[in-house]
Amino acid sequence: MEYFYCPDLSEDSDLVNLLSEEAHHLRNVFRKSPGEKIVLTNGHGLTATAEIEAADKKGVACKVKEVHKQAPSISRRISVALALIRPNRMDWAVEKLTELGVGSIYPVTTRFTSVNVFKEKHLRKIMVSALKQSKQAFLPELKPLMSFADWIAENDSYPDRIKLIAHMANDAVDISRLSLSSEKKIAIAIGPEGGFSVEEIAGCEQSGFRKVKLDNHILRAETAAISAVVHLKRYL
Ligand code: SAM
């Protein structure tokens, strides 16, 4: 059954209305009609089977049949800071990170960030679409754009977190050789096309970050983000 995004869905929902874009999708893309069954997800852990009651230009009303509370998948322990990259590449990265089920995505600006486009609303739409396509109940948190320094400082307030920075250097640990506690949350930073500056790496190390190598080759930032998460998921 197709998934539709319904942020208003709650544990005691009886009748819900789909928002305009979801309603348009349901009627015009999936061509669903009254009587058909669908699945609703609120992106915060709830899914529900529902039956379409009415679907017209005014909107889509759904009768909620059964609400399920999903347990968060363990991959939600991973949080990724991704330096801004070209919009089409950022779109791709955010879509794949959502499919992989990370807990949060921090778009950041770094010393060598050369892109200044951050389309938050557009990225959220891509995430919602990936959430539905991958049939999940949890949407990653898309954080507001912040400086890399602020992101490091934010992590300082969580001493228990495993902190990693993806950086190709001779003294970086191969990510497949890390020994990590499976209980803890993991924060990992991915740099922009120009990489991290020496000062940024030093700042991270002072804050307890470990440098990790992802591959023997230099990967594009978006590939690096996905590769890092796929590796880290094996520890969880
Ligand atoms: N010229 C840059 C450099 O030498 O750092 C290349 C930057 S790479 C295109 C973009 C980001 O992806 C890097 O800052 C790093 O975070 C990550 N990255 C790419 N390949 C990596 C690898 N093999 N190991 C670790 N991190 C990598």
Identify the pLDDT of residue 163: 96
Q: Considering the domain 74-235 in this protein, what is its CATH number?
A: 3.40.1280.10
H or E segment and range at residue 174: strand 173-174
Cα 165 to ligand 1 centroid, rounded to whole Å: 10
The DSSP H or E segment spanning 211 is: strand 210-213
- Burial pattern 102-129, b for ≥16 Cβ within 10 A else e, equals bbbbbbbbbbebeeeeeeeeebeebbbe
- Is any atom of ligand 1 closer than 6 Å to the C-beta of 166? yes
Q: Which two tokens stand for residue 231?
A: 């590796």
Kindly list the domain boundaries of the chain, sorted by start residue: 3-69, 74-235
**Residue nearest (by alpha carbon) to ligand 1 atom 7:** 195
Q: Which residues pair with 40 in a beta bridge?
A: 4, 48
* Ligand 1 center from residue 172 Cα (angstroms): 12
The pTM of this model reads: 0.95
Task: Give pLDDT, residue 122.
Answer: 98
Q: What is the pLDDT of residue 179?
A: 82
d(CA 65, CA 42): 15
Same fold for the domain at 3-69 and the one at 74-235? no
Question: Is the CB of residue 218 below 6 angstroms from any atom belonging to ligand 1?
Answer: yes
Smallest CA-to-CA distance from 123 within 150, 147, 144, 152 is with 144
pLDDT per residue rounded down to tens, the chain (236 residues): 999 999 999 999 999 999 888 999 999 999 999 999 999 999 999 999 999 999 988 889 999 999 999 999 999 999 999 999 999 999 999 999 999 999 999 999 999 999 999 999 999 999 999 999 999 999 999 999 999 999 999 999 888 899 999 999 999 999 999 888 768 899 999 999 999 999 999 999 999 999 999 999 999 999 999 999 999 998 88
Point out the ligand 1 atom lying closest to the alpha carbon of residue 217: 23
Outline where DSSP puts E strands in 19-121: 37-41, 46-56, 59-69, 78-83, 104-109
Report the C-alpha gap between 22 and 38 in whole angstroms. 12
> Residue 158: what pLDDT?
87
Instruction: State which CATH number among 2.40.240.20, 3.30.70.1560, 3.30.930.10, 1.10.10.10 fits the domain covering 3-69.
Output: 2.40.240.20
Q: Which atom of ligand 1 is nearest to the CA of 189?
A: 16
CA of 161 relative to ligand 1 center, distance in Å: 22
Select from 9, 77, 12 the least CA-distant residue to 43. Answer: 9
Judge if the beta carbon of residue 102 lies within 6 A of ligand 1. Answer: no
- CA gap 49, 71 in Å, rounded: 17
